[in-house]
Structure 1
Amino acid sequence: MSVHTATQHPGSLCYMVRDEIHKTEKPYFVYFPVDEFPGAKQTNVKFDYHDVGPSDIRGKTEDFKLDECGFEVVEFHSRFKYKDFNEFSKIENDYYKEVSDFLQDRMGAAFVQIFDCVIRRRNDQFPEKQFQNSDVQPVRAVHIDSSRERKMRRCKRALEDAGIRGGGRLQILNVWKPLRGPVRDWPLAVCDYRSCDDSDLTLVDQVYPNHYDEGTSLYFNSKHQWYFLSDQQPHEAFLMKMMDSDCQAADYCAHAAFPWKEAVKVEDMRESIEVRCVVFIKGDGK
């Protein structure tokens, strides 16, 4: 779909800068305060901001398909109320099942394993302060979660643990939705896979208080086509591709939060939940 069929809105996105230092030092982020460690740096990555003008797909969501552009908007009516998302045990026991059942039905999946969940509640210091001891904040840097190698290992381990044998299609899908709406504060922007090139991608070490991961960031490319859903409501979810073993389909969806400059009557700071899932479809999955 061409960007000209959707309404563009002012908004900048944060891209990683190509830096000479990364020829000898791998890019990294530390996702906790490092002030108490002399000489420690939060990151060795520099950013640049580009006014890409994400296009609003409200009223045109049917034009965006998961296997073509790496994302799609789906109706996902959860039984959870806003207050229920304060109880993580309830999320693990009940919300996970809702998401799993939804993906099994929609994707025709034989197996779904949810391996991660992130709830983000923006505080009034974001984006100036992003690594303080507070709720997890929106991510402004354009990214695609973990590296493909780590995602493949996770998929294979999930199938082994479940005792699943035989061929099929493996995917990692993210289900992202707001906890309340309409979202006008730092909405999610998604990039059409068809406008990306693998040369735009770079691996980044991610250091958390209790674990390490390897993520994927992006360099700016003027060909990138960005979209968002204006006034997104809790029953409207983004289904995003993070990996797909089918080489004929979209493999990933770059995404980031962005400041929607034209938003009116912004009353609530953004709160969202993102669930990350291994999905296995028997056979060729087509």
Structure 2
Amino acid sequence: MAATAALARDPAPLREVDATLGFTRRSDETLYTYAYDPPVGQPRTNVEPDERQVRIADARPVADTLSLDVEGFALVRHRTAVRDFWDEAQTLALGHPEAAGIVKAATGASRVVVFDHTLRRRLSGTEDRTAGLPRQPAGRVHVDQTLASGPQRIRDLMGDEAEALLRKRNAIINVWRPIARTARDWPLALGDASSIAPEDLLPSELRFPHRTGEIYLVAHNPAQRWLHIPDLAPDEALLIKCWDSAEGVARFAPHGAFEDPTTPPGVPPRESIEFRTIAFFD
């Protein structure tokens, strides 16, 4: 059952927190951001931020009802065998197969490929993608893929298999989990996919030296519903839908980090990892 249905039946509303999320202003231009020093005379980005205070509901009481195909995200419980995710060898040898297994068990996919992972450790006052420093929590609300980039990602990764695979259902799903400690600092806000209008998803190019990717940024809309699962523990993981070839299900779940005003002072900075996976269905 979806969280929306659970809320409608339960007379006690979920606890909410008012917090700021990093939305993006609508634009008639093609949005872009360079992931490297841009050409001379070109700004790094033409994305205009639009920070808004919204109400974010504590979904912990209905976490077991959340669905990848309804809200676009789900909570799973899983104890990892990885002792140190910052050890690349451990993460590749143990973390990648674990992430594939988590997604396969949650979705019933016949095959899951893990194609990437990103580690984050918050450092106060540091911008994301600062050379030589860990990646920072992504404060801009976004979706990792788009209608165009989802299939292209499969073509880029799967070679001669790609076209045959694309004739069946495929989904790109992130496995996001805290590491080292509970994620009380800068948790994730998740947009209920059933409340996100297609016109709120703004295609934005990510320009790299040798390729151009595309993500969705998100324009604010009062009809959107935002949730989070507080105190996410290292033996829990969030599954986040980033693209689905199937229609009639949640295809994109926007998400972004936020500063929770109820976080106690002195909480250690958040550390997390996200695995990016492709689920293939027969």
Question: 2:249, 2:217 → 1: CA distance?
Answer: 21
Paired position in structure 1 for 2:193: 193
- Whether the 8 Å contact between 1:10 and 1:262 is mirrored in structure 2 is no
- Whether the 8 Å contact between 2:86 and 2:119 is mirrored in structure 1 is no
TM-score (norm 2): 0.88
Do the aligned partners of residues 165 and 18 (structure 1) sit closer, same or farther apart at CA in structure 2, a change above 3 Å counting?
closer
- Whether the 8 Å contact between 1:180 and 1:233 is mirrored in structure 2 is no
- Whether the 8 Å contact between 2:154 and 2:162 is mirrored in structure 1 is no
Residue 165 (structure 1) shift: 4.9
1:75-107: CA deviation from partner (whole Å, max 9, x where unpaired): 1211112xx212223212221111112222332
Paired position in structure 2 for 1:31: 35
- Whether the 8 Å contact between 1:184 and 1:266 is mirrored in structure 2 is no
Paired position in structure 1 for 2:140: 141
Letter in 1 for 2:17: H
Q: Which runs of 5+ in 1 are unaligned?
A: none
- Whether the 8 Å contact between 2:66 and 2:73 is mirrored in structure 1 is yes
Q: Which runs of 4+ in 1 moved over 6 A?
A: none
Partner SS for 1:222: coil
- Whether the 8 Å contact between 1:181 and 1:231 is mirrored in structure 2 is no
2:259 matches 1:250 = no
Letter in 2 for 1:6: L
2:54 equivalent among 52, 55, 74: 52
Residue 232 (structure 1) shift: 1.0
TM-score (norm 1): 0.87
Map 1:136-175 → 2, pairs under 5 A:
136-156=135-155, 158=157, 161=160, 165=164, 168-175=168-175
Residue 63 (structure 1) shift: 2.4
Partner SS for 1:275: strand
Residue 170 (structure 1) shift: 1.0
Question: 1:243, 1:158 → 2: CA distance?
Answer: 15
Do the aligned partners of residues 161 and 87 (structure 1) sit closer, same or farther apart at CA in structure 2, a change above 3 Å counting?
farther
Letter in 2 for 1:63: T
Q: Which runs of 5+ in 2 are unaligned?
A: none
Do the aligned partners of residues 131 and 117 (structure 1) sit closer, same or farther apart at CA in structure 2, a change above 3 Å counting?
closer
Percent identity reads 27
Map 1:7-86 → 2, pairs under 5 A:
7-19=15-27, 23=28, 25-32=29-36, 39-81=41-83, 84-86=84-86
